[in-house]
Amino acid sequence: MTKRVVFILLFAVTSFSNAQALKNIGFKAGGMVSQFKYEYNIDGYKYNSDPYSVIRVSAGVYGEFFNLPVFSVIGEINYIEKGAHREIDVTDISNPDGLGKLTDVDAYLKYINISILSKVRLDGIYFSPYLLLGPKVDFEVGRDVHSALTPLYNGVQKIRFGFKAGVGTELKLWGINFISEVLFDKDLGYLYDSGGLQIANYGIDFRTGAFINL
């Protein structure tokens, strides 16, 4: 399944690149603020945990197609990390209420992200603000999960579909083209769904970068 999806995406990107003139290419880098929320449903009793947040890396390259006055299409490939950071009390048989110490119970998932985003911009001399919206797919390429959470995260799907939406601006200084963006990153459906437990997640992606015109 993974190979088939990758092949289809590469074929689509290659065909699109050959069919349309490339406007510019660039890179983006920053941080992904991701939140995981645990939703419990036990015997009809529902309880939602507070979101567990963590800041991880986000970096990638992109190409911009179509040289129209206000509209273009962004194709990008990124490396991103999402996850949750938790601190829990350390206990043992003799001290079930805790030893007065905390330990980290973390889960970090690493992805290659491919996104196709519509871009609507307002061209200016120095500033060109824009809106972004489009679908994305994340392919899990690694994970760093605490042993206590391993059985749970073994049920997480390794290919995640969703969408991105956000705002940004192009800035021209000293003859260099810079960009700055903030995007909302949302998966479709739950990250994990066992009936009694569901894990919902989303991320906020802060990125800066630069590009060259072609």
Range of the domain at 97: 19-213
Number of domains, the chain: 1
Token pair for residue 105?
A: 């119970």
Q: What is the pLDDT of residue 173?
A: 86
Number of Cα atoms under 13 Å in the Cβ half of residue 122: 5
In a domain, 195, yes or no: yes
pLDDT along the chain (214 residues), means of 10: 51 51 89 83 67 84 87 93 68 50 71 94 89 95 75 79 95 89 92 78 92 86
- Which CATH number belongs to the domain containing residue 171 in this structure? 2.40.160.20
In a domain, 5, yes or no: no
What ranges make up the beta strands (E) of 66-173?
Answer: 71-84, 87-89, 102-104, 107-121, 127-145, 159-173
In a domain, 3, yes or no: no
In a domain, 7, yes or no: no
In a domain, 12, yes or no: no
In a domain, 73, yes or no: yes
In a domain, 190, yes or no: yes
Put simply, whether the predicted model's pTM sits higher than 0.75 gets the answer: yes
In a domain, 11, yes or no: no
Side chain identity at 90, as an amino acid letter?
V
